[in-house]
């Protein structure tokens, strides 16, 4: 997968063109899931999508741009999942918010083998690493809104840092759990929940103490 930017050659505007691009990305995602990032080539992607290499080149200059587009789809889906979670947290009371959140995102890893292959591979470009960093910041912003909605923290500067730390820790543990087992190593996922529950308990205690002092 050669280094490349995340942009396409031209933006598909007609429905037929958009469908062709989605078909190409679906085919590339299946190749990633089945054989890993090394399997990606414009020839194989075009063949799997039922289109010519020339047609593929109309939209993507190389496999790096295709990988970037796949990554963006997955990251958008993660951010949408977090947004839905924020909305749920505003109206539901969760007995175990850490367990619910870890299970939610572990399920996404489990259901998207192409995503795992992309991020666990050796071919991450600087563009993809930067996109991943921005994605984690977006997820952390969503997590901050969740813990504030659940009454576990105030919406302040420390909550920003807490949420970023929790997202990075959870992501590292999820990645290792799914490197060990495509279904997610159960023991490691359980330990991730234990670690993050302890952290969240300390966070909640900190804000409760602050609240008492200001009364």
Query: How far apart are alpha carbons 25 and 78 in whole angstroms?
Result: 17
99 domain-assigned: yes
Q: Would residue 138 count as lying in a domain? A: yes
Mean pLDDT in residue range 184-191: 97
pTM of this structure: 0.82
Residue at 51 is within a domain:
no
pLDDT of residue 11: 59
Question: Token pair for residue 207?
Answer: 């804000």
Domain assignment of residue 9, yes or no: no
Q: Is residue 146 part of a domain?
A: yes
The answer to whether residues 127 and 5 touch, using CB atoms and an 8 Å cutoff, is yes
Report pLDDT digits (tens) over 141-185. 999 999 999 989 999 999 999 999 999 999 999 999 999 999 999
CA distance 151 to 27: 44
Find the helix or strand (DSSP H, E) in which 88 lies: helix 63-89
Percent of residues, the chain, with pLDDT higher than 90: 55
Domain that holds residue 113: 70-213
In a domain, 74, yes or no: yes
Q: Rg for the chain (alpha carbons), in Å? A: 20
Check residue 90 and report its DSSP letter: T
Percent of the chain surpassing pLDDT 70: 92
What number of H helices and E strands is found in the chain? Answer: 9, 0
Given pLDDT bands bounded at 50, 70 and 90, which one contains residue 8?
low
Residue 206 lies in a domain: yes
CATH number at residue 108: 1.10.357.10
Confidence band (pLDDT; 50, 70, 90) for 2?
Answer: very low
Taking only the tens place, the pLDDT of each residue in 70-126 is: 989 999 998 999 999 999 888 888 889 999 999 999 999 899 888 888 877 666 778
Residue 131 falls within a domain, yes or no?
Answer: yes
Of 149, 169, 166, 173, which Cα lies nearest the Cα of 203?
Answer: 166
Query: How many domains would you assign to the chain?
Result: 1
């Amino acid at each position: 997968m050669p280094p490349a930017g995340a942009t396409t050659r031209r933006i598909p505007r007609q429905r037929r063109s958009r469908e062709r691009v989605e078909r190409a990305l679906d085919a590339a995602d299946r190749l990633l899931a089945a054989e890993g990032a090394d399997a990606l080539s414009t020839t194989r992607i075009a063949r799997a999508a039922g289109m010519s290499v020339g047609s593929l080149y109309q939209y993507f200059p190389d496999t790096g741009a295709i990988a970037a587009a796949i990554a963006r789809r997955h990251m958008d889906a993660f951010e949408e999942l977090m947004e839905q979670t924020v909305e749920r947290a505003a109206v539901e009371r969760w007995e175990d918010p850490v367990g619910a959140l870890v299970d939610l995102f572990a399920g996404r890893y489990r259901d998207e083998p192409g995503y795992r292959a992309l991020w666990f591979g050796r071919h991450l470009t600087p563009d993809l690493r930067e996109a991943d960093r921005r994605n984690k910041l977006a997820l952390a912003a969503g997590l901050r809104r969740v813990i504030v909605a659940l009454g576990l923290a105030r919406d302040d500067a420390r909550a920003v840092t807490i949420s970023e730390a929790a997202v990075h820790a959870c992501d590292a543990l999820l990645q290792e759990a799914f490197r060990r087992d495509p279904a997610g190593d159960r023991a490691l996922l359980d330990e991730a929940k234990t670690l993050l529950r302890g952290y969240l308990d300390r966070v909640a205690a900190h804000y409760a103490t602050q609240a008492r002092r200001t009364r």
